[in-house]
Each structure stands twice: as structure tokens, then as C-alpha cells.
Amino acid sequence: MTKRSGLSRQLVLSMSAMALSVMLLLHVSFYMFYAIAMKLNPSLVSPSVDSWPPTTSEWILIATMTLLGLALAVHTATRFSRRIIQPLNSVTESVRRLAHGDLEARAHAGDRSLGETSALVEDFNSMAERLQRMTSEMVTWNAAIAHELRTPVTILRGRLQGLAEGVFQPDEALFRSLLAQVEGLSRLIEDLRVLSLADSGHLSLRIETVDLSAEIRATVQLVEPDLRAAQLVLDVQLPATCTVECDASRMRQAVIALLENARRYAQPGGLRIRAECDGGEFTLGIEDDGPGIPGEVAAHIFEAFVRGDDSRARHSGGSGLGLAIVRAIVQAHGGRVGCVAAASGGTRFTLSVPCHAAARPDGLSPPPPAMPAAG
């Protein structure tokens, strides 16, 4: 990419070129005028170098050169100002179109040799593209949220209406079913809250020094009955201890989401859980035996409402937010997540976080403990 000249440099070069051109024009014109006049008609010039004022012909020459120099200056300034004004007018028009809801409006740089104006146009177009993408994502989010909320709300409404009209008899099984729907709604709302806080940069972390291996071991033991019920055979290999500065409850939430994802979508078989603490970083990997995730889906699997198999997700009751929660929590700790195909034909999910909060990419020290959220 060629280096673009700055606006100030272009202005200096243009004005310098104009001044040199005018001076050259004056010198050449005067030399030519006097050479021709002295040869053809010496009376056209002053009889002595010390005579004053100039003759009529000299006045005409001076006026002509002045007008030519002025015309050259106006031409140069007009061309240069047009190079500046054109992209600025394009940005102004595009801003006006954006203000009226046309998110496809883009500015045109025109002459890209002017660094500042070209950078302004590129930054504006980048902002407009991001605004358009965010608006599209917001529409998708709203549709997805409405879809996820509609199913449990419809079930609750139908059963409550059946109770009111005497169609259903109030028994323990019915009330437990209603309670399960309410709990599902509560989980969905909490997941949406966490994602919203993460997207706005306000996800609070209670940083403390914990043995993350012990926390993960306890979490696996907690959900082990559900995993075994899904015919998943656990193979857990964790370090004896691994001290990490993190929010223990959030990390447990991320691990539970990964294990819950395996319970819902992995086929019966092995579920290998590995962890290591090396080079100031803690890495956890969870690998299943299938059915695997297509490569084009794996690249976006940690985005909200993205599912590897939508029909299976509906059957298993997944909302499509679990892995997005994992990414939000891990990134809040300055870590990263990954999803790759495993040699067994399944999928390997990984998460890595710095062992020390001060080692985060932002270089900031751990935030103070957050106040408990109201309600």
C-alpha cells in the first residue's frame, strides 16, 4: 500500500508549485518581451534602465502577466479545493442519508492521495458498515429472543388456561411441569442478561485466587449423574492443583455450560475432560465422540443462537445461548475459546484464561469486587 501524503503536505506542494509557475512565467515573459522589443522596435521599452514610469507597452505586459498569474492561482486553488471538498461533500450526504435511515449509504473518497480526507471517508464507511451489521444483528436477536420466549410462554398459557377451565386437574405432575417451564424462562432471561452485560463491557467479575482444578472437579461431580444418564462415559484428567486469579462462580458457570452442551448434543460414548496449567495460562478441553460440527458452523458456534443441529437443539430444549455465555465469561477474564474437530470424529471445545489477572491483554489490574445485583 502506497503511503498517502497528508493534506498539509499537499497544500504546501500545490502552493509552492503555483508560486514557482508564476515566477517562471514572469521571468520568461519579460525576457521574451524585451528581446523581441529591442530587436523589432526599441521605442516600446524605456530608453534608460533608470527611467520612470514604465512605458504603455510595459504596463500592458505587467497587467497581462498579473492576470495570467492570478488565473493560474485561481485554477490551482479551484482544482485543489475540489479534491478536498468532493469527499467531504460525499461524507456529508452519506451522513444525511444515514440520519434518514438509509444504512447502505457510503461515502466516496475520490482522490485517495489526500491522506486525511481518504482516512475520514474510510473511517466513516467502516462506521456505517458496523452500524448496518449491528442493526441486522439486533433484528436477528429480537426475532430469536421472541422465538425462544414464545414456546414456554405458550405452554404456560395453555396449561394455566386449562386449569382455569377445568380441562386439567391440579396435581403435582402438572405443577412440576409448570415450574420447569418457569425455570427455563428464568435461565433464558439470566443468559440474556449476562450476554448484554458482556457486550456493553459491564460484566462484573469477583476476582479471587482459587484452585481452578478443584472447582472444575467439583463441578463435574455435580453434573455427573446427568451426563451418565445421557450415556456419556467420563474420562477426567485434571492437575492436582492449579491456582488461578478468576471469578470462581463465573468459571463454574462456563464449565457447566460446556458440559450441558455435551449432554444435549453429543452422542453416547466417551467424554474426555483435560486441563493443564502451563506458561501462566490455564487451559481446559472437553472432547466428545460425535457427531461433530461442520467447519462452517464451528467458526460461529460461540455466537448467540447458533446451533450445530437446529432440529436436535429444539428436541433437547437448547436455547442456543450456552456457548455464547462461555465466550463472554472467558473473554471477560482476558482468555479465549476454541472449537475444533477431534480425531475421534467428535468436537473438542477449549477455553484458556491467564493464571494471573494482571496478565490480561488490557494490562489492567483486577477490578474491585462487584456489589451484589439487586433482585
Give me the domain span that covers residue 126: 7-130
Q: Tell whether 195 and 213 lie within a shared domain.
A: no
Query: Is 82 part of a structural domain of the chain?
Result: yes
Q: Tell whether 125 and 28 lie within a shared domain.
A: yes
Query: Is 114 part of a structural domain of the chain?
Result: yes
Query: Is 372 part of a structural domain of the chain?
Result: no
Whole-angstrom distance, CA of residue 186 vs CA of residue 192: 10
Whole-angstrom distance, CA of residue 241 vs CA of residue 345: 31
Q: Report the predicted TM-score, pTM, of the whole model to 2 decimal places.
A: 0.60
Phi, then psi, of 165 in degrees rounded to 5: -95, 0
State the CB neighbour count (10 A cutoff) for residue 284: 26
Residues in the chain, overall count: 375
Indicate the pLDDT class of residue 214, thresholds 50, 70 and 90: very high
Whole-angstrom distance, CA of residue 305 vs CA of residue 299: 14
Q: Tell whether 223 and 252 lie within a shared domain.
A: yes
Q: Tell whether 121 and 147 lie within a shared domain.
A: no
Query: Is 217 part of a structural domain of the chain?
Result: yes
36-75 as b/e: b if 16+ CB within 10 A: ebeeeeeebbeeeeeeeeeeeebeebeeebeeebeeeeee
State the CB neighbour count (10 A cutoff) for residue 302: 20
What's 265's domain CATH number? 3.30.565.10
Average pLDDT, the chain: 78
CA angle, 142 as apex, 137 and 146 as ends, to 5°?
145
Q: Tell whether 304 and 331 lie within a shared domain.
A: yes
* pLDDT greater than 80 at residue 137: no
* pLDDT digits 0-9 by tens, 48-64: 555 555 667 767 777 77
If one counts the domains in the chain, the total is: 3
- Region 31-36: mean pLDDT is 74
Q: Tell whether 326 and 234 lie within a shared domain.
A: yes
Whole-angstrom distance, CA of residue 287 vs CA of residue 344: 9
Give residue 10's pLDDT. Answer: 64
* pLDDT digits 0-9 by tens, 166-187: 888 888 888 888 887 787 788 7
Give residue 85's pLDDT. Answer: 76
Whole-angstrom distance, CA of residue 322 vs CA of residue 223: 15
Which residues lie below 8 Å from residue 205, measured CB to CB, with a gap of 6+? 246, 247, 250, 332, 333, 366, 367, 370
* Highest mean pLDDT: which range of 57-66, 76-85, 113-122, 168-177: 168-177
